[in-house]
């Protein structure tokens, strides 16, 4: 089983004067992937622009992104992602997410109501058809396409799309439409159960997902975080319990990763808590995370 580790940069590392140094350090340490998230109303900017910069700056590092496709023209998004994959030499990794679902975000993306999951699946189907070289006539999310083909196409064939979530509907969607599962805010026991649910649904759908295409985003912190940083994570848990969710320090991180490995999870995105803070010791964070987990990477 291939075990791989990605890191998410804090806001301070995305500054124009710092981002290049951050990328150099991530690649030098040996992390597999840089991972960014699309938060349309957040302060981190457009991740596709940041990854375009990263594609030019790096040579080995894979470039991963959680993309919110809602609110974007599916054709233009398909073209952007295809071109980015080509510029990166086939190093692009994709996860499609429906967004945070907050009223202001939903309204800004043109999805104040309606089924975001169903819209997501429609967009995925359309993207894949274009990337495969089809000439497409279709309507999707208010856009009409009449005999439209896409150039350039991605270097990767296929360019895979992973999906996230942890609820029953999200897990069924992974099985129906995903090439992998990238979850978050679940314990190792819950990750194991999620894999079983996906496997059962895959059998029902007569689909296959690679056994190594199961991953998780883990919130990490070098020292015990304050409650202000933990509150958003607690809000995502009905039990508000963050045991086996947040890793504090190298020993906890290593133990949590090993527990998820036992559950069948092999791809990890390490997401520092406090990533929205303007001042953070990103070099120290990278170094202790590398020491903790990169000996497991293979």
One domain, residues 22 and 39 = no
Burial group, residue 194, by CB count within 10 angstroms (0-12, 13-18, 19+): buried
pLDDT confidence of residue 156: 98
For residue 181, the surrounding DSSP H or E stretch is strand 181-184
Q: What is the mean pLDDT of the chain?
A: 95
Task: Tell me the per-residue pLDDT of 176-191, one tens digit each, with 9 for 90 and over.
Answer: 999 999 999 999 999 9
Answer with the one of 115, 134, 159 that is the final residue of a domain.
Answer: 159
One domain, residues 15 and 137 = no
pTM for this prediction:
0.96
Task: Tell me the per-residue pLDDT of 200-252, one tens digit each, with 9 for 90 and over.
Answer: 999 999 999 999 999 999 999 999 999 999 998 999 899 999 999 999 999 99
Q: Which domain holds residue 18?
A: 1-28+167-298
Instruction: Give the pLDDT band (50/70/90) at residue 112.
Output: confident
Q: Does 277 have pLDDT greater than 80? A: no
Give first-to-last CA distance, the chain, whole Å: 8
One domain, residues 171 and 296 = yes
One domain, residues 38 and 78 = yes
Q: Nearest 5°: phi and psi at 63?
A: -125, 105
Answer with the one of 108, 127, 159 that is the final residue of a domain.
Answer: 159
One domain, residues 243 and 296 = yes
Q: How many distinct structural domains can be found in the chain?
A: 2
Q: Does 278 have pLDDT greater than 70? A: no
SS3 193: helix
One domain, residues 133 and 57 = yes
One domain, residues 218 and 91 = no
Q: Residues of 261-274 as b/e, b for ≥16 C-beta within 10 angstroms? A: eebbbbbbbbbbbb
One domain, residues 172 and 143 = no
Given CA atoms 182, 31, 92, 221 in this order, what sign does their dihedral have? positive
One domain, residues 172 and 282 = yes
pLDDT confidence of residue 169: 95
> Nearest to residue 214, comparing CAs of 194, 244, 243, 236?
194
pLDDT confidence of residue 215: 98
CATH number, position 4: 3.20.20.30
One domain, residues 37 and 150 = yes
Task: Tell me the per-residue pLDDT of 254-276, one tens digit each, with 9 for 90 and over.
Answer: 999 999 999 999 999 999 998 77
Task: Tell me the per-residue pLDDT of 59-105, one tens digit each, with 9 for 90 and over.
Answer: 999 999 999 999 999 999 999 999 999 999 999 999 999 998 889 99
One domain, residues 182 and 120 = no
Answer with the one of 159, 187, 212 that is the final residue of a domain.
Answer: 159
pLDDT confidence of residue 143: 95
One domain, residues 42 and 21 = no
């Amino acid at each position: 089983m291939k075990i791989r580790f990605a890191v998410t940069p804090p806001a301070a590392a995305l500054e124009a004067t710092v981002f290049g140094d951050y990328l150099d350090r991530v690649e030098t340490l040996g992390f597999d992937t840089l991972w960014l998230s699309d938060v349309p109303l957040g302060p981190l900017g457009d991740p596709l622009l940041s990854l375009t910069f990263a594609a030019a700056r790096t040579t080995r590092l894979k470039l991963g992104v959680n993309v919110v496709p809602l609110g974007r023209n599916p054709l233009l998004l398909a073209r952007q992602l295809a071109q980015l994959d080509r510029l990166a030499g086939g190093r692009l990794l994709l996860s499609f997410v429906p967004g945070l679902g907050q009223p202001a975000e939903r309204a800004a993306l043109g999805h104040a109501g309606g089924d975001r999951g169903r819209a997501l699946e429609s967009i995925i189907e359309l993207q894949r058809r274009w990337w495969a070289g089809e000439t497409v006539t279709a309507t999707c999310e208010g856009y009409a396409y009449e005999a439209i083909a896409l150039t350039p196409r991605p270097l990767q064939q296929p360019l895979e799309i992973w999906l996230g979530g942890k609820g029953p509907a999200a897990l069924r969607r992974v099985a129906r439409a995903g090439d992998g599962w990238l979850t978050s805010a679940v314990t190792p026991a819950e990750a194991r159960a999620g894999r079983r649910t996906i496997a059962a649904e895959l059998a029902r759908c007569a689909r296959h997902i690679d056994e190594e295409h199961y991953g998780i985003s883990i919130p990490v912190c070098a020292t015990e975080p304050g409650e202000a940083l933990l509150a958003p994570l607690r809000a995502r848990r009905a039990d508000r319990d963050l045991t086996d969710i947040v890793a504090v320090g190298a020993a906890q991180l290593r133990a949590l990763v090993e527990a998820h490995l036992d559950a069948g999870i092999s791809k990890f995105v390490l997401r520092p808590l406090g990533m929205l803070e303007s001042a953070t010791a990103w070099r120290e964070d990278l170094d202790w995370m590398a020491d903790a987990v990169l000996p497991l990477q293979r």
